[in-house]
Amino acid sequence: MSNKRRKEMFKESKSVKQRYATRKLKVGMVSLLMGFTFIFASAPAAKVIGIPMTVSAEEVDLSSAKEAAKQSIEDALNKKNKAIDDGDASKTAKEAAKKAAGEIAEAEKTKVDKAETAELAKTAGELGVTKVGEVEVPTALSEAQTAAEAAINTAAEKKIDEIKGVQGASEEDITAAEEKVKAAQSTAIEAIKKAENPQGVTEAQTAGEEAINKVANPQTALEKAQTEAEAAINAAAE
């Protein structure tokens, strides 16, 4: 092969390499530009690699509003828990009340997080504070009242089951007896609610249970016939 031909082949090879390198450079630049486009379209991704992003005033206001709202709920919860701890209820009653307050607080914070505007976040926070504040602080009196009411309800249910179990009694007599039990139950619960101390609650509960148990069971068909016959005999004797 002549020297002239070798030089021509070398020039052709060099030209091909230059065209290939130029093409790779163009492709690389396009990929790089696409990558930056994706990054700047995604704020979280930009933060990961340390690229500063501009945050709108609305986003700052919403974030601040959410933090303030959740903090107000947390403050209300702390206040409520202190009131519960300072009360004279039992440890069990206190723990139950604090658990209820905590669950409400968490649920309300979740609502704050879902707010789409600063105003909605503020409103959600205010509602959360109100709901936490509505949790009842247990006391020895309220605890005694709750237990007494449960006892009265149990006594009434037991008596009504007993009444319904009377064989041969008429529906009319059964219903009448049940109404007497319910009246005694209602009177007892009202007295328990009006009690001013645990001792008063106990007294109201005892009186209520006695009144419920004193309600007479309806007569069986035979007993009723006997009673009516005795009444007729007595009337005739007079």
**pLDDT of the chain along its 238 residues, tens only?**
555 555 555 455 555 455 545 555 444 544 544 554 444 444 444 444 454 556 576 778 999 999 999 999 999 999 999 999 999 999 999 999 999 999 999 999 999 999 999 999 999 999 999 999 999 999 999 999 999 999 999 999 999 999 999 988 999 999 999 999 999 999 999 999 999 999 999 999 999 999 999 999 998 877 777 777 887 888 777 7
Q: According to the model, what pLDDT value does residue 7 have?
A: 53
Angle between helices 140-164 and 171-194 (to 10 degrees): 170
The pLDDT value given to residue 16: 47
pLDDT at 60: 80
CA dist 113 and 105 (Å) reads 13
Q: What span, in angstroms and rounded, lies between the C-alpha atoms of 176 and 1?
A: 129
pTM assigned to the model = 0.62
Taking Cα atoms as reference points, which of 123, 119, 117, 136 lies closest to residue 73? Answer: 123
What is the rounded distance in angstroms from the CA atom of residue 74 to the CA atom of residue 67? 10
Q: Give the side-chain half-sphere CA count within 13 A for 190.
A: 6
User: Would you say 73 and 108 are in contact if contact means Cβ atoms under 8 Å apart?
Assistant: yes
